[in-house]
């Protein structure tokens, strides 16, 4: 059973516009949520995180929103740039989890067109 779901495998956005990447989860015990960005032939790199007790965290062009009642989070990128084109993974962090700390979604491939 997937505990973290990214239902959109891909997203295409025009440069300068907003990119919104969505993530749903089923496990209420996640303590943090993290977003990773991955370019082809490279390892994922940490982008931004949010505590489960917060509803928003902002870092430059990147903002993550958490709606606990809906078990939904989203990553907003404003304005989008061609260099943002990558696969974005959403992950839930589970303290004391039996299969490692992080549970990943399957990723969303973002394409930002010039």
The footprint of other proteins (CB under 8 A) covers 6, 9, 31-32, 34, 36, 38, 41-46, 49, 51, 89, 91, 93, 95-96, 98-102, 104-107
- Specify the residue, 2 or 14, whose C-beta has the smaller distance to other proteins: 2
- Specify the residue, 25 or 36, whose C-beta has the smaller distance to other proteins: 36
Of the candidates 21, 29, 11, 13, the one whose C-alpha atom is nearest the C-alpha of residue 76 is: 21
Phi-psi region for residue 60, left (φ > 0), alpha (ψ -120 to 50) or beta? left
- Specify the residue, 28 or 114, whose C-beta has the smaller distance to other proteins: 28
Kindly state the smallest distance separating residue 100's Cβ from other proteins, in Å: 5
Helix (H, G, I), strand (E, B) or coil at 27: coil
Query: What span, in angstroms and rounded, lies between the C-alpha atoms of 28 and 47?
Result: 22
């Amino acid at each position: 059973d997937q505990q973290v779901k990214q239902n959109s495998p891909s997203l295409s956005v025009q440069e300068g516009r907003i990119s919104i990447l969505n993530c749903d989860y089923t496990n209420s015990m996640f303590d943090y949520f993290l977003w990773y960005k991955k370019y082809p032939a490279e390892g994922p790199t940490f982008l931004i995180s949010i505590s489960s007790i917060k509803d928003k965290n902002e870092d430059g062009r990147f903002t993550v929103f958490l709606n606990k009642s809906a078990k939904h989070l989203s990553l907003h990128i404003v304005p989008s740039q061609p260099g943002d084109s990558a696969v974005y993974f959403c992950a839930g962090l589970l303290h004391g989890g039996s299969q490692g700390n992080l549970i990943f979604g399957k990723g969303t491939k973002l394409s930002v067109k010039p």
